[in-house]
Amino acid sequence: MAKAGTVSIIGVYGEVNSFPIGNAMEKNLTVTMGNCNHRRYIPHLIELVRSGNLNLLKFLRRGNR
């Protein structure tokens, strides 16, 4: 993340015990976050995956970019 960048967190999360707030402050980051309305979108997304119109491999990754 570049200095003075913005990090946005969207999704549904469980308990979070720690967040590197000191690292974010040192980089002067703006952090925005909130829950998504997943119950509204899940049925449509499942249908897109089943039909082959949505390839999840484009969105899922392992490790850093």
How far apart are alpha carbons 2 and 46 in whole angstroms?
34
Global pTM? 0.43
How far apart are alpha carbons 57 and 21 in whole angstroms?
31
How far apart are alpha carbons 59 and 41 in whole angstroms?
16
pLDDT (tens digit, 9 = 90+) per residue, 12-24?
566 666 677 788 8
> Which H or E element spans position 34?
strand 30-35
Band of residue 62 on the pLDDT scale cut at 50, 70, 90: low
pLDDT (tens digit, 9 = 90+) per residue, 8-61?
776 656 666 667 778 888 888 888 877 778 888 889 999 999 999 998 888 776
